[in-house]
Amino acid sequence: MPVKCPKCHADNTSDSKFCKECGTQLMPTQLEPDVTKTLETSFQKLTRGTLFADRYEIIEELGMGGMGQVYRVDDTKVKEEVALKLIKPEVSSDKKSIARFRNELKLARKIRHKNVCQMFDLGEFEGIHFITMEYVTGEDLRSLIQRMKTIPSETAISISKQICEGLIDAHRIGIIHRDLKPDNIMIDKAGNARIMDFGIARSAMSDAITGADTIIGTPEYMSPEQVEGKEVDPRSDIYSLGVVIFEMLTGERPFKGDTSLSIAMKHKSEAPPNPKWLNDQISNRLSRLVLMCLEKDKELRYRSADELLSALRTIDDKKIPLAIKGEKKKSIAVLPFSNMSADPEQEYFCDGMAEEIINSLTHIKDLRVIARTSAFAFKGKHEDIREIGRKIDVDTILEGSVRKSGKHIRITAQLVNTTDGSHLWSEKYDRELDDVFAIQDEISLAIVDNLKVKLLQKEKNKLVKRHTEDLEAYQLYLKGNYFINKYAADEVQRGLEYFHEAIAKDPKFALALCGIGTAYVSFGTLSLLPADEAFSKAKDYLTKALAIDNTIAEIHVALGRIALFYEWDWEEVEERQERALALNPGSGEVHAWYSWYLVIAGRYAEAIEEVIKAQELDPLLPLNYAFGIAIHGYQGKFDESEEQFQKAIELDSNLGIAYFHMGTSYTFQNKYEEAISAFQKAIELTTGLGWAECILGGLYYLKGETEKADQILNQMLAQKNEQYISSFCIAFLYYYKDEKDNAFEWLDIAYKERDILLPLLNVPKYFPDIRDDPRFEAILKRLGFR
């Protein structure tokens, strides 16, 4: 007689212990029909207000678990709320199962840990067996993952560490959970992770009750040894936790299949995918940790929850609050609009439309807006919207097109959900060109409305603010931005010309003035012009822009860079950066440049936080990861530097500054051969004598290759009068040549020239052997660090 599975209702042979389709343990066939009927009728849902077992007043049904129905109840005897789990008849009818639960409950009640839900009692009422346990307010990890899609690495690490701490206490007394999964992990209102359902776990010590060939668990989270029905130990829970971490980080489980049984078999025979393939924001170290948890051979996994906890702490030992009580912030990327005009040169206008909308939306606190660089990385690639959403971690995409003919313009725009590709909103605008500002405002407001983002009045004012009423000046400004963003020297110069033309049309066009000033700041920080020339010109244009409009964050960022690299006015830097953050907290550029000030100030932990924020807002900008290489290296987090380097060169294999900063990180680790290779690559990808050549020369001095080092020093000295060469770099080379007096002489010259590298003197890793010299202290004092 076939046996029907109580879960999926598939027919199985009479001698089957487990369902062939889903792996569910089958009801013993020896049960008489009348007994089965009695069990089914006695196990009914309880309604609110019902008093169960003359003690537990039903408040609400919480759901159906693997073992039975769960309720929130009021224990009228002790006057407190508890959770009540009614055990399914097909389980409770097995005397061995009840004996097992009773035996394990004695052990489980000994677990008194803040990350474990307390077990209370096993009882029976009118043939129904039940378990009572601590009631935890909050949400289970399953619903959290479904709500957030993917959980940020820092939060996932924090949750995982707490789960490990709970497992350590359980494993210490011989309790193996055997069914660890998101459904059995609660996140309480305080943000703490709590493991539930040790009631179905089996003691590792109770061999008299537990058979080696008995399968307990959920197929999607089973360790290979559980699938095979073999003996389990704490490493089985570590495997299951590895699946949970994988799911938190990627939103998916490592194995999929048509049936639970087929999934269980994949745990036994197939290698899991690297979680980084599904979420490239996961660090290499974290992905390696997950894969080590998921090793098929338990001898290759972490040996204990304590060992896994230590590994998690090495990845991130900060105390990170679980910021999961509120809804995940809405997010959007605005793709460059397609040019549908006959004139290909109208592309600048299409890019400008998208960029202006981006700039407007970044002022909204409750909306994460992907920066221009990352959004425009998909230009002309025709990638699937869902894939774009995955790559830059956004919920929605705005895409559109522009057809411009004379003074007439047609703009289409549509807001798309990246989860399923569905359209949330679309609109077509047939207007005159003079209406372009109004169209931008309408699109921005429509986005806010359709995403149901709360909009403060001051945010709305910024959203629809116009910086010029002169349409011609505006178009010239868009052309300027278009060429400036190409980053090539001749293109940048062309962009500056358009900015100048825009100002000629509208002298009070603050954004155009800011564009010119910011360009000159970049010329100065990249040593393309002498500091005096670059920064004085920049200050002139930026001051004019500030007088017209002091609410443009980019003006304050640029003035902050001048104060940092040229004026060495640390109070001014802090003031400008804080002002910029207040004006536009959604700007990746603001966070990126603030991170550099924090490095110089010695506030490394804050610097890392800022550069991470910059990467979240502009995830495809390689320069942000180059910054990350340097900042982690300064703090001595060299594995993180390596991860940042890999990300940077994945995005741009020819990014010279990434190789430069990685070379610096290798130097700090005394890995001189790797450092030399990195600096040589940096020099190959950049032009002119500069910082990379300087540190390379210093390494040659350290290795005793004096001839190579002297060649670099002499070349710098020879060209000093012909082109801009950093005096700080020359001082650096003399320092490593062990000519300290010459080093101080050139540091004095660097001070007089306002050398942009001088603030690095406040970083302890530079010039370590002369930091106690009174002359060094005197320079730091002149720079305002003392």
Per the listing, tokens 């002359």 go with 775
Measured CA to CA, the distance from residue 330 to residue 450 in angstroms comes to 11
Residue 486 vs residues 40, 173, 373, 489, 579: alpha-carbon distances, Å: 72, 63, 11, 9, 28
Q: How much is the pLDDT for 23?
A: 57
Measured CA to CA, the distance from residue 277 to residue 275 in angstroms comes to 5
What tokens does 598 get?
Answer: 């924090």
Per-residue pLDDT tens over the stretch 609-627: 889 989 999 999 898 999 9
Q: How much is the pLDDT for 764?
A: 86
Question: DSSP letters of 698-760?
Answer: HHHHHTT-HHHHHHHHHHHHHHTTTS---HHHHHHHHHHTT-HHHHHHHHHHHHHTT-TTGGG
Q: In a 10 Å sphere around its CB, with 0-12 CB exposed, 13-18 middle and 19+ buried, how is residue 271 labelled?
A: exposed
- Which class does domain 48-135 fall in? alpha beta
Q: Give 12's contacts (C-beta < 8 A, 6+ positions apart).
A: 2, 3, 4, 5, 19, 20, 26
CA angle 175, 236, 256 (to 5 degrees): 135
| CATH number of the domain located at residue range(s) 138-328 in this protein | 1.10.510.10
- Which class does domain 469-585 fall in? mainly alpha
Measured CA to CA, the distance from residue 307 to residue 299 in angstroms comes to 13
What are the extents of the domains in the chain? 3-42, 48-135, 138-328, 330-466, 469-585
Fold for domain 330-466? Rossmann fold (3.40.50)
What is the Cα gyration radius of the chain? 32
Residue 665 vs residues 636, 668, 670, 764: alpha-carbon distances, Å: 8, 5, 9, 14
Between the CA atoms of 202, 205, 210 and 213, what dihedral angle is there, to the nearest 10 degrees?
Answer: 100
**Nearest to 482, CA basis, from 497, 503, 462, 464:** 497
Which residues on adjacent β-strands are paired with residue 339?
Answer: 402
Q: How much is the pLDDT for 483?
A: 82
Measured CA to CA, the distance from residue 324 to residue 125 in angstroms comes to 39
* Ordered alpha helix ranges (H), 420-463: 436-451, 457-463
Q: How much is the pLDDT for 328?
A: 62
Count other Cβ atoms within 10 Å, centred on residue 191: 17
Per-residue pLDDT tens over the stretch 118-165: 888 888 888 888 888 888 888 899 999 998 989 999 999 999 999 999
Measured CA to CA, the distance from residue 607 to residue 597 in angstroms comes to 8
**Nearest to 221, CA basis, from 246, 201, 196:** 246
Q: How much is the pLDDT for 456?
A: 64
Q: How much is the pLDDT for 743?
A: 96
Which residues on adjacent β-strands are paired with residue 85?
Answer: 70, 131
What tokens does 143 get?
Answer: 């619903």
Residue 395 vs residues 142, 147, 281, 328, 463: alpha-carbon distances, Å: 19, 12, 16, 10, 20
Per the listing, tokens 């964050």 go with 553
Residue 572 vs residues 413, 535, 556, 561, 758: alpha-carbon distances, Å: 42, 15, 10, 10, 17
Residue 769 one-letter amino acid: D
Q: Give 713's contacts (C-beta < 8 A, 6+ positions apart).
A: 697, 730, 733, 734, 737
3 state DSSP class of 162:
helix
Q: How much is the pLDDT for 41?
A: 38
State the pTM of this model.
Answer: 0.55
The DSSP code for 563 is: I
Q: Identify whether the C-beta of residue 324 lies closer than 8 Å to the C-beta of residue 188.
A: no
Q: Which stretches of the chain drop beneath a pLDDT of 50? A: 28-42, 201-215, 317-325, 327
What tokens does 526 get?
Answer: 């990249």
